[in-house]
Structure 1
Amino acid sequence: MNILIINAGSSSIKFQLIRMPLETITCSGLVERIGSDEAVFKFKSDKGTIEEEGSIKTHKVGLKKIADVLLDAEKGVLKNSSEIDVVGHRVVHGGDSFSATVLVTEAVKKEIQEYATLAPLHNPHNLEGISIAEQLFPEAKQIAVFDTAFHQTMPLKARKYAIPYDLYDKHGIQVYGFHGTSHKYVSEKAIAYLNKPASKILSIHLGNGCSITAIVNGKSVDHSLGFAPGNGLIMGSRSGDIDHAVIFHLVHTLGYALQDVNTLLTKKSGMLGLTGFSDLRDIQTAAENGDTACQLALEMNAYRIKKYIGAYTAAMNGLDAVVFTAGVGENSSVLRKLVCADMDFFGITLNHAKNELRASVLREINDVTAKVKVLVIPTNEELEIAKQAFELCG
């Protein structure tokens, strides 16, 4: 079964064509920095690799470019669209409606659209990916895998907000959690590596969107993102945790419209708001060259992560491993070093030489005497989506 995976993030699209159940990757690729004139397109198959830089202003343009390359007579891997049996889509917010993988129907698309107000940087792009895939691969089944599903195991004491009960009971206002596909994948890899099913793990997903999940015995028990993917850690353009009084001050005192506040906190804050840069690589380079705003932003980012490590270690009453994953978590030795500095009280100490090594495999970067394992595990949301899609359709 040929399963094409489309994983649309807030500023990127990752894709893989996977032959199931063998888990053979026919091709893979990435569109990143969408919305800029320096967007990057990467494609890899047995026929070679493609890497291009240029303007890709929207997700729609990126998705069409992916489809064109897949079907290209010279560079592509498909003779025609009918070779795709299933298209698996990552969908960020499924609310209370979806606790498992589903076949996409018009009703499902309508629900995804309704949750777009809670995940404005993601659900619209996820839905756009589904619509375009329906046009390009009309004979394939379209499958949706929801990031919120993994967090259904969180206990009520972690899911509920301290607001009137009716808002939870009648309107579903609660912590839903996100990046669940990634957290599920890397936590399973960590448990297998540790050979410890009864484990206490912190999975730290750091990309343009960021989150940390407390995982006990393979189950999510707490998570930094909430009702929508905007709070918790400092992100690429999202503020993370902020006193809600700031919102009222912006509206009532400074004259902001509510939509402007939403735009400010989701698209103009975070590392972008602190530095003027949207990509962490640019921020690290500027920091190395003495940019004090970028230096402070990195310190703030790490400090926020440290606070969550402390809180979740207390909540779990212990810690066996910390996992860094996703684009920033896997590649930024700078941020990992800042996060793990002065954490020996928790049994976290880095081996700095191992931390600096670059590799696309699971690796241990803690000091040999450390009580807590510090792991870098490349996430593979695409493979996890393929597994779940195959289980549903196979």
Structure 2
Amino acid sequence: MLWQNELHHNITTIEELSKYYHFTEDEKNKLNRLLEQFPMSITRYYLSLINKDDPHDPIARIAVPSLQEFHLEGSFDTSGEKENTKVVGLQHKYAQTALILSTNQCASYCRHCFRRRLVGLSGDEIMKRFDAIENYVAEHKEINNILISGGDSLCQDNHMIKRYLDTFSKMEHLDFIRFGTRIPVVFPQRIINDPELVTMFREYNNIKPIYIVTHFNHPREITKESTLAVKLLRDAGIIVKNQTVLLKGVNDDADTLAQLLQGLTRIGVVPYYIFQCRPVCGVKTQFQIPLALGYDIVEKAKAQQNGQGKCLKYIMSHQSGKIEITGKIDDTHLMMKYHQSKDPSQYGITYIKELPVDETWLKEDHL
């Protein structure tokens, strides 16, 4: 079966989900209203990872909608993506990196998604403007890498992925190409059953280095299937890195996070960032944890790692830049550093920030 056809069997309605979970009629009605705004899609594979007898199952928290999503405290654009959009489908926030939102579709929708305002839309409009994207990158020589994201960049057909590879591998001022994808985690069959994709990556990797940046959040996501998908990419010469989001009820426990990091290095995935969950509408109250607590969890998890597993950074992807939480003086005083900055003059600045003990994000007026 073609991978595209497999996705047609995703769980996308509350009626389908009711075969696995019991909902009252009132819950069904409310969840149906919720899905009108925030769609649901769960691959059959990812559904199989859920322990349906556990009402607090961490994989379910990632994929199964909750009535808590009606709490719309927060923002739909927490890092200023709109203001950084230079061409439809292309953002340029940091000088060296161009971010391309190649599609707004994913194999499985995460309930903590920070781009949930865009979920489910097609990437066709982006491809119609591909020439404008190509011209922008070609004209801005300060850009030395491309991040092709979404949605999920590997939810596109191979010919569309090839167009990105063919175009950007020819630009001499680009050092490498990155693909942001959760496919190895939620739908590894896309890679396992598509040798054409793997061959294409291998061929273009010989022209320009290719990185896959994926998104494992829990140790139970590391399965024989996801391990095989990673192995196929690595055998093709692709470097696979991981960005985890710190999520309440999923990985906000040092031992759980430590097991995840150990599992990643074991299968050859490089831990890269641990992101503070963003204060997105419908996400903030359900998934965010305080920054001070997050720092403790990350440090305790890192203490259980070898050198490779200690290379990650605890990061807040803020409107003003990527802010690394580097230290803790006490529960209300954190040390922070601009790991990346929209304003070049702020890059590398380190400062101590006084915050309430339960603060989960830096407000704009805190900067």
Q: TM-score, normalised by structure 2?
A: 0.31
Q: TM-score, normalised by structure 1?
A: 0.29
